[in-house]
Structure 1
Amino acid sequence: MTLRVLGIDPGLTRCGVGVVDVQPDRTARLIAVTVIRTPPSMPLEERLLAVGDGIELLLDEHLPAVVAIERVFAQQNLHTVMGVAQVSGVALHAAAKRKLPVALHTPSEVKAAITGYGSADKKQVQAMVARILGLAEAPKPADAADALAIAICHAWRGSPAAAPRAGGGSDDASLTPAQVAWRAAERSSRASAVPRRLTR
């Protein structure tokens, strides 16, 4: 069954939005991609309204099954973090109004899913997005390609073929190198989250 995911790379000046259809065998097809822009000279409330209206329009046009958003993470630039957080809130609100499930993925998770390397640079991510979607080149600006990468990351994570087999086995042999690396990163993250017994 095809899974349609709408991915969002939240930003106040440029908000990337991409929609992909992903098959159970993990092949992906580009449906739509755009960047919603607002000028810094516009009042904050109007910028958030413009971004929200743009996201809602795309949700209603393409009817995704799930929304994937890049998770806000710490940066030195507080102004940038605030803008990203505010747009993320607008996107979450738009999805909730439509009773759509939402997934949040960190940049490292997305990079690992797409390239197999959690510290990949933007050019590597863009190149792999183009390759995965069968495009001659990655959509520009980078925010557009990032939104598609977020959508693909979520679809691959939720793919039934990527789930562990009953009895504890797995089907890693059927995964791409990027997906194997993503699964390894996910396992490592879960293992590090398990509380360890204190020793005296």
Structure 2
Amino acid sequence: MPSGVTRILGIDPGSRITGFGVIDVAGSQQAYVASGCIRTQGGSLPERVKILLDGIREVVATYQPDIAAVEIVFVNVNPQSTLMLGQARGAVVAGLVAAGLPVAEYTALQVKQAVVGNGHADKDQVAHMVQRLLRLSGRPQADAADALGVALTHAQHSGGAARQLAGYRQLSMKRGRLA
């Protein structure tokens, strides 16, 4: 990777489908690298957690990001689903941290505000803006689009490539956002 370019791995965690998106950032310029999904069809929760952990390790080894950004899971109506989603997210974060990556976290509201400009945007609007911002020829799969949105959010919130790594440890949280 050229000097001055930071590679960001965005993750949209899920217990059945976890989206990932990789972008390169140089100053205010963002370029698409890759995106996709880690699928954990069937099996027990421990088996799915292992698939997620192995999948994250493979994505990190393949794309060698400098930093990761993960969407924060919110509580939904079904406590069992929330618990499963939290465990999946935990496996993702553990895999990223074990790989030595700094991890930033953003809520869905923050991602929608950063990418669309409206915290109440729907998934289709996020996917459309991800496609436009990264100048993609087609719309990425929904979970991959969300993950690319998380990566773009980090690029916007971190103030550019120079600050992303050099100043990462000095960043602080203000009202749930990296400042």
Counterpart in the other structure of 1:38: 40
Aligned counterparts of 2:100 and 2:64: Cα–Cα separation in 1: 11
2:70 aligned residue: 69
Whether contact under 8 Å (1:22, 1:152) holds in the other structure is: no
Q: Who wins on radius of gyration, i.e. which is larger?
A: 1
Q: Say what the alpha-carbon RMSD is for the aligned residues.
A: 1.9
Q: Equivalents in 1 of 2:46, 2:18: separation in Å?
A: 15
> Which residue of the partner structure matches residue 81 of structure 1?
82
Q: Normalization by structure 1: what TM-score?
A: 0.76
> Which structure 2 residue ranges, 5 or more long, are not aligned?
164-172
Q: Distance in 2 between matches of 1:107 and 1:80?
A: 17
> Aligned letter for 2:118?
Y
CA contact (8 A) 2:26 2:160 kept: no
Kindly indicate whether the alpha-carbon contact (under 8 Å) linking 2:56 and 2:96 is maintained by their aligned counterparts in 1: no
Structure 1 residue aligned with 2:11, among 1, 8, 26? 8
Tell me, in whole angstroms, the C-alpha distance in 1 between the residues paired with 2:54 and 2:134.
Answer: 27
CA distance in 1, matches of 2:125, 2:138: 12
Aligned to 2:130: 129
Aligned length: 163
Aligned partners of 2:80, 2:152: CA distance in 1, in Å? 28
| Percentage identity across paired residues of the two chains | 38
Q: Which has the higher contact order (CA 8 A, sep 6+)?
A: 2
Q: Distance in 2 between matches of 1:84 and 1:3?
A: 29
Find the aligned partners of 1:103 and 1:88 in 2 and give their Cα distance: 13
User: Quick check: which one's strand share is greater?
Assistant: 2
Shift of residue 83, structure 1, vs aligned partner: 2.3
Residues 112-121 or 92-101, more deviating: 92-101
